[in-house]
Structure formats: C-alpha cells, structure tokens
Amino acid sequence: MTIQNNLSQVDISSNTSTQTFFNNYFKPTFVVSTNIDDAVIAFFEQITDTKAAARLIASAVIYTSLEQNIDPMSTIEKFSRLNKPELTSYLVMFLNLNRIGTSYLGINNNPTVSKYVARMILP
C-alpha cells in the first residue's frame, strides 16, 4: 500500500553525516542593511497582528531570499502584488525552498464534506 505524504524517502543504509539532516543549522548567518530589514518587517507588520510575528516572518523571508540568491526587496515587491490568501500560499511555498523533506511547512486544508458523508459520521 502506497502512503501519500510530503516526506522524501531517506536511505538509512548510506553513511551520511548528521549535518545532512541539520543542513540550515551550520550555515553562516547573513547580514543585510537596516533599510532592507526595516522594509521587510514593515511589510509583514501590515499583515500580521503583532510586531514579534512580523519580525519572525521577515527574518525567515530574508534568510530564504539570500540563500536562494534573490534580492529580499524583489521578493517583497512580488509578495505585495498578492492578496492575503494568495500570500499565505506563496509564502509557505517560498519558505519550503530551503527546507528538507522531513520538515516542510504545510497549509491547512479543510475540504467541504458532502452531506451524505457527514450524516454517516457519528458526532
């Protein structure tokens, strides 16, 4: 039976170092100007409820942009063209660019249930 999920298969017989699994942990940090940092934080402050959330999302976007050799300001410029539901989806996919298969971010999917199926489920 095939199991459908977003996890990539890991070959445990190969001799790999633990750095493969913690690939972002040992990488050097990036430095950006305060203007870029402030602009990205300001963009996410308009969307989130708190400054702390905006700072965390902004740091993840800046890190992912620089890791992918993309200017963070061009990323924010493209994000600014999207409405909030689209931005959520694109942001998740963008942040998954740097993640390995065992730690992907996901989107909640709440499909509508047919009334015929719902009546067969006990409350």
CA distance linking residue 116 with residue 123, whole number of Å: 14
Contact (Cβ atoms closer than 8 angstroms) between residue 7 and residue 100: no
**pLDDT at residue 1 in the model:** 45
pTM for the full model? 0.64
In the numeric block, the tokens 């990488």 are attached to: 27
Residue 100 has pLDDT above 80, yes or no: no
35-60 pLDDT tens trace: 999 999 999 999 998 899 999 999 99
* Helical residues (DSSP H) of 3-120, grouped into ranges: 34-45, 51-67, 72-79, 84-95, 115-118
- Average predicted confidence (pLDDT) for the chain: 79
**pLDDT tens, residue by residue, 1-40:** 444 555 555 555 665 565 555 665 666 677 889 999 999 9
- Is the per-residue pLDDT at 103 higher than 50? yes
| Residue 114 confidence (pLDDT) | 83
